[in-house]
Amino acid sequence: MTQLRSDVTLDFLRNRQKGRLPDLLGVQLISLDQGELSGELAIRPELLAPNGFLHAATVVGLADTCCGYACIAHLPEKAQNFTTLELKSNHVSTAREGKIVAKATAVHLGRSTQVWDATVTNGDGKLIAMFRCTQMILY
């Protein structure tokens, strides 16, 4: 199992997102531990769908960012990067205000692939979505 890299910190990941989609979404990283990463974002009007509910792409953007950053933090020795092979999400609720929180958890940390699950909840802990992605490790 791949271990958390000591050279990847929350500050490293925060700097990496400047000027990119996670920055545009307003992703704020909360914690990074072995096999886990958590982040959140404040719900703003521009992140809502035309129906006034949180846009699914906003939820997926937060979950995918957390899983991707967790993958970076757990890259095997000599690995350079990763790319997404597959992702899926199940949306069971929504929100209009407040914040959403994603917690990415490692399912499989291999040398050639990683699988990450994320749960997305509202600020009160109510489940919004479940997310899974498979990452191919690049050497």
**Domain residues of the chain, as ranges?**
10-138
Which token pair is 2? 């791949």
Mean pLDDT, the chain, integer: 98
- pLDDT digit string, tens, across residues 111-138: 999 999 999 999 999 999 999 999 999 9
Q: Which residues pair with 81 in a beta bridge?
A: 138
Q: In sequence order, which residues have a C-beta less than 8 Å from that of residue 5 and are 6 or more positions away?
A: 73, 74, 75
- pLDDT digit string, tens, across residues 46-57: 999 999 999 999
Backbone angles phi, psi at 63, to 5 degrees: -65, -45
Q: Tell me which residue of 7, 23, 2, 30 sits closest to 101, measured CA to CA.
A: 30
- pLDDT digit string, tens, across residues 7-56: 999 999 999 999 999 999 999 999 999 999 999 999 999 999 999 999 99
1: pLDDT strictly greater than 80: no
For 10-138, give the CATH class. alpha beta
Distances from the Cα of 61 to the Cα of 7, 16, 57, angstroms? 25, 16, 6
Name the one residue in this structure whose structure tokens are 């092979």: 85
